[in-house]
Amino acid sequence: LSYWVNVALAGLAIATSAYLILFENALYARETEYIFTDYLFSFIAIGLAIEFTRRTTGWFMPILIVLSLSYILFLGRYIGGVFSFPGLSLETVMYRSFFTTEGMFGLTAQISSTFVFMFIIFGAFLLRSGAGDFIVRLAGCLAGRYTGGAGLVAVVGSGLMGSVSGSAVANTVSTGVITIPMMRESGFPAKFSAGVVAASSTGGALMPPVMGAGAFVLASYTQISYLTIIAASTLPALLYFLTVSYFVRIEAKRLGLTTVAAADTERLRDVMKGGWHFIIPMVVLVGFLVAGRTPTSAAAFAILSVIGASWLSAKPMRPADVFDAVVDGVRTMVSTALLLVAVGIIINVVTTTGIGNAFSLMIVEWAQGSLFITLVLVALASLVLGMGLPVTASYIVLATLSAPLIYDLISQSALLDAILIGIQAGDLPNNVAATLSLFGGDPLIALQEMPLEMKQLIRQEMLPAELLTGMLLSAHLIIFWLSQDSNVTPPVCLASFAAAGIAGTNPMATGLTSWKVAKGLYLVPILFAYSPLISGGWPERIEVFIWSCMGLYAMAGVLQWHLEAKLTVLTAALLLLSAGLLMWTPLPIIAHLVGAAILIGVFVLQNRQQAALVSALGK
């Protein structure tokens, strides 16, 4: 019976696709007036999307789709406040979900059917040609002597490729088809491997010099030079990838994964001698991306180069191998494609109802002047917007709504200090003094009550232009970083879903893992707001970077509940204290030194305890 049910569902899927192709023009000729068959095939298409998603991902996504459709149809009218929505007619919802490019066959489906598909095929060709074995040997050669070496190779590879491709999803599928099996073979769980690759691929858009399309949009939006942006982004990007690497190392320690002795690792020369030709497709791929070609065409040329390069080896790809590679790629693509099509239904609800914008507009009222609360609310808003908008579009919307407020809150302390110094020295500019007098004369009260536009004029009068540029860049980079979180944060985390499809793991569980591993997306922007990591001089930036490297390691240990050994409540509390002392830059240097001493003390103590335990077991 199940066989014939599957055949029937497949037939319905083909029929709905054919109806959309053949009768779309007829619908527009009727001025989008729905008839019975339009309703029928719209219902069938949405039902199939829900059922296929249930089969491939479980119940969470289908329930979310049903709730989303209920909200846009009738549930929104029973919700008060800014989330109230009067509801749309069934015809409108069906039309937008099935026939338009805002629903099932919208942006995510286009991503699925174009470069995601091509990159998965590219990975399948690489694996069929023997590249997987070469990558594993190369990883063992380069990083096998380090704890979590295979995972570290995945972090670096995904980061470098993502910097060029600019797409977390494409980067995940292009590198993940190799690095996820590599990590699993070295002993990492499938879910953790997928989470690491998704988190690393997401960070690729944060790594100079390319940083995807986002950096160019940011430069245009702020009128800050591109060179300034990539210079300021280098240290934060390194902090992000160090954080992911910390999770890899700690997980390897937790699992007891052993390193390979130098005598047992292959020599680099021997590895390259048998696999140097595998580098050619990667060079072709990166070269075409750098040259400005689309990811789809770059992947196509890279696939051809895999076939050509294989003839330089002892195992050339023949027609049968090419066919098998295509079959492997299509099988891998199925679950990812179904998920991305179904996600389009949720995206349609978010964009149609404007729920993302409504959420963002509440930030000013809820924050009540608190920078930290503002950052938390912006992070939540970016997640909601990320369900319906690409990362760059989400950044633009959030920057329009939130950047002036964040910029104002970041600069307020420096502005207040400058005003107080001017008052004490008796050289406060007359126009600034006159403006303050309009609000009672007290600088603190005046800055809280005056409009942002008026405050900006005072900032330009009282603070150096270079400092203001750094603070403005800090505000926008906070939003730019937080806009990336929708790639790795459930319920709609496309990079995590793509990685889950490759690893064969539950998408939501993988999303939660990648969300934990990608904690740098939230921790590092806090440094933008409260430290001179972006707005300070280079000596100040490097100092913050050094302390933060240690602080983030302590934080990763707490989140994994493991450092060199399993944590206790006491050691976890000590690590939290250490992270706070190291990363809270307003503290004096003695506090940072105390934080470093605590971290080193816990590290050494656990290392000795672990060594003693291993020694005892050995006896």
In the chain, % of residues over pLDDT 90: 27
pLDDT at 215 over 90: no
pLDDT-derived band at 221 (thresholds 50, 70, 90) equals confident
Greater pLDDT, 418 or 163: 418
Lowest-confidence range among 88-92, 347-351, 392-396?
A: 392-396
Is pLDDT above 90 for 7? yes
Which residues, 6+ apart, have CB-to-CB distance to 277 below 8 Å? 309, 310, 312, 313
Contacts of 177 by beta carbon, 8 Å cutoff, 6+ apart: 120, 123, 124, 126, 127, 332, 502
User: By three-state DSSP, how is residue 566 classified?
Assistant: strand
Least confident segment among 62-71, 188-197, 275-284, 581-590: 275-284
Lowest mean pLDDT among 36-40, 259-263, 578-582: 259-263
Angstrom distance (rounded) from CA 175 to CA 245: 17
- Asked if residue 488 has pLDDT above 50, the reply is yes
By percentage, how much of the chain surpasses pLDDT 70? 89
Closest alpha carbon to 240 in 585, 558, 518, 579: 518
Mean pLDDT of the chain: 83
Lowest mean pLDDT among 340-344, 352-356, 421-425: 352-356
- The pLDDT value given to residue 73: 93
pTM of the model: 0.70
pLDDT at 420 over 80: yes
- What was the pLDDT predicted at 356? 62
Reduced to 3 states (helix: H, G, I; strand: E, B; else coil), residue 315 is: coil
- Of 494, 491, 395, 506, nearest in space to 116 by CA: 494
Query: Contact at 8 Å (CB) between 53 and 338?
Result: yes
Q: What is the mean pLDDT of residues 516-538?
A: 91
Q: What is the pLDDT of residue 438?
A: 84
pLDDT classification of 546: cutoffs 50, 70, 90: very high
* Predicted confidence (pLDDT) per residue in 143-161, tens digit: 656 677 778 878 877 776 6
Tell me the pLDDT band of 400, cut-offs 50, 70 and 90: confident
Structure tokens at 314: 């002892």
Q: State the pLDDT at residue 66.
A: 92
Q: Is the pLDDT of residue 260 over 50?
A: yes
Q: Report residue 432 CA to chain centroid gap.
A: 43
Q: Which of 323-327, 409-413, 475-479 has the lowest mean pLDDT?
A: 409-413
Highest mean pLDDT among 52-66, 252-266, 591-605: 591-605
Q: How far is CA 36 from CA 18, 91, 282, 286, 380, in A?
A: 16, 11, 51, 50, 41
d(CA 504, CA 498): 10
Q: Is the pLDDT of residue 586 over 70?
A: yes
- Across 179-188, 453-462, 493-502, 541-550, which has the greatest mean pLDDT? 541-550
> 94-145: per-residue pLDDT in tens?
988 988 888 888 777 777 777 678 877 887 888 788 776 676 566 557 665 6
> Range with the lowest mean pLDDT among 2-11, 297-306, 391-400?
391-400
Would you state the pLDDT for residue 263? 45
pLDDT, residue 162, reads: 62
* Range in 51-55, 130-134, 540-544, 589-593 with the lowest mean pLDDT: 130-134
480/132 Cα distance (integer angstroms): 34
Lowest-pLDDT range of 51-55, 265-269, 286-290: 265-269
- Domain ranges (residues) in the chain: 2-107, 203-259+354-530, 537-619
Query: Which of residues 578 and 498 earns the better pLDDT score?
Result: 578
163 near 208, Cβ under 8 Å? yes
pLDDT average, residue stretch 410-437: 86
What does the pLDDT average to over 582-595? 92
Secondary structure class of 101 (helix, strand, coil): coil
Contacts 24+ apart (CB under 8 A), 395-398: 395/214, 395/217, 395/218, 395/479, 395/480, 395/483, 396/217, 396/221, 397/356, 397/357, 397/360, 398/360, 398/479, 398/482, 398/483
pLDDT at 558: 94
DSSP state of 88: -
